[in-house]
Chains A and B, each alone.
Chain A
Amino acid sequence: MRLGVFVCHCGSNIAATVDCAAVALAARAMPDVAFAADSVYTCSEPGQEAIVAAVAEHGLDGVVVASCSPRMHERTFRRTVARAGLNPYMFEMANIREHVSWVGRDKERNTAKATDLVRMAVEKLRRNRPLTPREFPVTRRVLVVGGGVAGIQAALDCADGGLEVVLVERASSIGGKMAQLDKTFPTVDCSSCVLGPRMVDVAQHPGITLHAYSEVASVSGWVGNFEVAVRRKATYVDWSKCTGCGECVKKCPARDAPDPFNAGLAPARAINIPFPQAIPKKAVINPAHCKQLTTGKCGVCAKVCPSGAIDYAMTETTVTEKVGAIIVATGYELFDPKVYGQYGGGRYPDVITSMQYERMLSASGPTGGHVLRPSDGREPRSVVFIQCVGSRDRHIGRPYCSGFCCMYTAKQAILTRDHVPGAQTYVFYMDIRSPGKGYDEFIRRAMEEYGVRYVRGRVSRIFPKGDRLVVRGADTLMAAQVQVEADLVVLAVGAEHAPGAHELAATLRVSIDEHGFFMEGHPKLRPVETNTAGVYLAGACQGPKDIPASVSQASAAAAKVLGLFARGTLASDPQVALVDPRRCVGCLKCLKTCPFGAIREEQGRDGAVRAQVVETVCQGCGVCCVTCPQGAVQLQHFTDDQILAEVEALCRIPLPTCG
């Protein structure tokens, strides 16, 4: 066997604290190593070409690259090795950047450790066997979870690209947070005018199946072949008959149901259609507030419904959908400002959240687009906005910037001046963050054209004085305490993860960050992928985002899915478990422990029962390998022999003297 070793400097990332030439020199003395060299950037084009040339020149059978994490460049170098005419699995990577140069400063010891890692990689490579992926067919359907603007965009892009789309939305209508907004920054165009036609497109697109008022219950399978159970919650209204006429809503006597669409600004009826442009425009009964369902006495909606759609006996159902890829677009939730006792949110009726204010500004909202104080219905003359409520505050576990509050506050302040001419508007802020296209100009318009008074500082307390509110805070530019009398205070609440994000992440087997947002595969290079093949992210479920960013990411996720399905088949990873039939005793412990259902029972010609791995289902996790009492299951590319050879390579040599 003839092996080549390439030690990468990664500019100064590795070379600053590792003597790369010394590592290459040491590698030349390792068994089977026929060639070793160091290069400044092995991943660059000349770096890769040097590998291809060395394979040809020295007749190499395998290649070790000592550089960064395999998560960064394993695929890159496997392709390089394949271009050189070798099997891509005749390649090993030694991580001397994340595991060595970035974590240690002592060059001598770093060099020794890097040499050890290279020695381990060489010993493993000596036992590598060529592996070949198998092709398997994919289900050219995609599941989009969440029907906000990101989910809508992703669904439409996928459907326009010729895929069948299953869109699952938890609420009774798609539209998400954007449907609740009155106007959007920085153009101040009508939110529902922008979004509404896209929602209609979803309803009318022949390629999209919409499951509204539904949730993802479970997901099994793997990329290309997922099986998803969708729980369709009981609406108590037969949607195949409901025409959305709204007669039931008008006549419903239960008027105390919560109205999440109006952010709690006004109560809703127990049977409700959230807003006029709802898609689907169908009624849903809230069973906790319906008099018929709670007391058994009412039945008004059933009497007035012209199409006989009311069904009090309805129960939830589950439908199964087969899809090849999943786009998660579950969005975000808004921060509950009651955490800040000093602002009085929830105690003082005229301290409201920005979403409540948005519903107030909206012509289809409870006040018909008039800005009116919740306490007495009076038009406010002075409105104070407080930014960073639930953002950039370590003390409440929200250290991050929500990104969009500066902009929507400026928008709301501008709209306040339009709705209530002559009203005085103040904005208390920490910093203005407006890095988008046309964003800073928009802030300046609020300040200069609309006379919004920006006060840089935090508010310490809001308290009532007569029927007004006093907002006391600091003006850090003036180095003074300021007090502003307000008729209405709007808290610019930040973003937090959507409820149920952790459960969905577990269902999808994807990672979630410390704040409950979904983790992308790589923050820069894989921003819409997750680390689970076939599962993609779109919109604010990955982190707070405004509408343009959410839509961009949704289109990117759709492009990824279309690319995934472009060939009709997928190559399975050959790094899967394999059962040695001569050693398998048929105990089938592996079948019980496999989390992916990738092992099946098989009867051989001799009549004995044995385990067999379904290669396209196996994810290569290795649980079966450690379960097997016989050592009959071996993970290809990570066999016991290979791992032991690495351990021996590390342990058989004398340890370097420390200090």
Chain B
Amino acid sequence: MSPRFAYYPGCSLEGTAQDYDRSGRACCAALGIELAEIPDWSCCGSSPAHAVDAVLSGALAARNLGLARQGGFGAVVTPCPNCLVNLRTAARDLDDPARRERINALLSVPCEGGLPAVSLLQALFEQAGPQALADAVVRPLAGLRVAPYYGCILHRPPGLMAFDDPENPVAMDALLEAAGAEVVAFPFKTECCGASYGVPRKDLVMELSGRLLEAAADLGADALAVACPLCQMNLDLRQDQIAAARRRAFGIPVFYFTQLLGLALGLDRADLGLDRLVVPPGGVLRKLGTEG
């Protein structure tokens, strides 16, 4: 039995990425990874805090790490790459006495040290792994061509993240292959999608996410698999805008990788939140013979 992990969902997972939250929890449960949500968790210190004040950002993240430490957990799992960066940065800073002091000056309950934080992808890859996943698959994703898109910060900066190859990661590829999918050699696994520039500079997202969708389409991918709420939003919610801007129709559904793993594990469709996808996944599901 895998150890229990503190689970930090982060704000997106309660909003735009509820399907990531549901499918991630369901996959972990199916693969014997026990997650316990951090009680009364709060903001990870992500934008705008970390852009303004590193100590404030560190304190916001440290509050959550402190709660996890109080709960007796040895590690935190978070699905969102942005939360991961902040939690890992804070954990590192908390191990430095001088920085810890500045962070704790802002906290009513001081946090006396860091706690390792890992991505949901890393937890699934290391705690379950491709073999255990393959053993648990009941409906292989046979014939589904998937482009794995990790996003720009899931494995970066490499010194802080210390997982997988930061320029050519393979963990998600291995899990999707174990689930029976045909993983295409996607060259832009770690390129930028445009991130939050969708609001102030939509043209940038049209260009950057457009490249990603075009590369996936050129490779004949049926679907994209992602691990980041912001990537998912740009590629899925804005896919129509991108199609219009680049004068090219895509129709490529953008799944969280946990949704695809959940399909292969035969999990309850209600737990996977497929109805929340903007680009309809019906074609893909029909291809898998799992629709209806």
Contact = CB atoms under 8 A, between A and B. Distances in A.
B165 A341 contact: yes
Contacts of B215: 463
A461 interface: yes
Contacts of A465: 218
Contacts of A299: none
A98 to B, nearest CB: 32
Contacts of A461: 167, 187-188, 191
Contacts of A344: 168
B285 interface: no
B185 A342 contact: no
A340, A342, A464 — most chain B CB neighbours (10 Å):
A342
Interface in B166-186: 166-169, 185
Contact of A463 (B158, B166, B169, B188): B188
Nearest to B191: A461
Nearest to A342: B167
Secondary structure at chain B's binding surface: helix, strand, loop or mixed? Answer: loop
A56 to B, nearest CB: 62
Given A344-B168, A461-B167, 9 more contacts: A341-B166, A341-B167, A341-B169, A342-B167, A395-B158, A461-B187, A461-B191, A463-B188, A463-B215
Contacts of A464: 185, 187
B187 A340 contact: no
A463 B168 contact: no
Interface in A379-406: 395
Secondary structure at chain A's binding surface: helix, strand, loop or mixed? Answer: mixed
A347 B168 contact: yes
B167 A340 contact: yes
Nearest to B218: A465
A463 B187 contact: yes
Q: In the complex, which range does the number of interface residues on chain B fall in?
A: 10 to 19
Interface in B68-94: none
A395 B159 CA distance: 9
A599 B167 CA distance: 58
22 contacts: A340-B167, A341-B165, A341-B166, A341-B167, A341-B168, A341-B169, A342-B167, A342-B168, A344-B168, A347-B168, A395-B158, A395-B159, A461-B167, A461-B187, A461-B188, A461-B191, A463-B187, A463-B188, A463-B215, A464-B185, A464-B187, A465-B218
Interface in B126-176: 158-159, 165-169
Contacts of B158: 395
Contacts of B166: 341
Nearest to A347: B168
Interface string A430-472: 0000000000000000000000000000000101110000000
Nearest to A462: B187
A340 to B, nearest CB: 7
B169 to A, nearest CB: 8
B97 to A, nearest CB: 26
Interface string A327-346: 00000000000001110100
B2 to A, nearest CB: 29
A461 B167 CA distance: 9
B159, B168, B218 — most chain A CB neighbours (10 Å):
B168
Nearest to B168: A341
Contacts of A341: 165-169
Contacts of B159: 395
Nearest to B169: A341
Contacts of A347: 168
B158, B185, B187, B191 — most chain A CB neighbours (10 Å):
B187
Nearest to B187: A463
Contacts of A395: 158-159
Contacts of B168: 341-342, 344, 347
What 4 pairs across the A-B complex have the smallest Cβ distances? Answer: A341-B167, A463-B187, A341-B168, A342-B167
Nearest to A344: B168
A395 B158 CA distance: 10
A341, A342, A395, A464 — most chain B CB neighbours (10 Å):
A341
Nearest to B167: A341
A467 to B, nearest CB: 13
A347 B167 CA distance: 13
Contacts of B188: 461, 463
A396 to B, nearest CB: 10
Contacts of B191: 461
Interface in A331-374: 340-342, 344, 347
A347 B168 CA distance: 10
Nearest to A469: B187
A395 B166 CA distance: 12
A520 to B, nearest CB: 32
A342 B158 CA distance: 13
Nearest to B158: A395
Contacts of A340: 167
A342 B155 CA distance: 13
A344 B185 CA distance: 11
Contacts of B218: 465
Contacts of B169: 341
Interface string A391-429: 000010000000000000000000000000000000000
Contacts of B165: 341
B165, B166, B215 — most chain A CB neighbours (10 Å):
B165
Nearest to B170: A341
Nearest to A470: B187
A303 to B, nearest CB: 45
A461 B192 CA distance: 12
Contacts of B185: 464
Contacts of A463: 187-188, 215
B11 to A, nearest CB: 31
Nearest to B219: A464
A465 B219 CA distance: 9
B258 to A, nearest CB: 24
A84 B120 CA distance: 79
A395 B157 CA distance: 11
Nearest to B185: A464
A472 to B, nearest CB: 9
Contacts of B167: 340-342, 461
Interface string A461-489: 10111000000000000000000000000
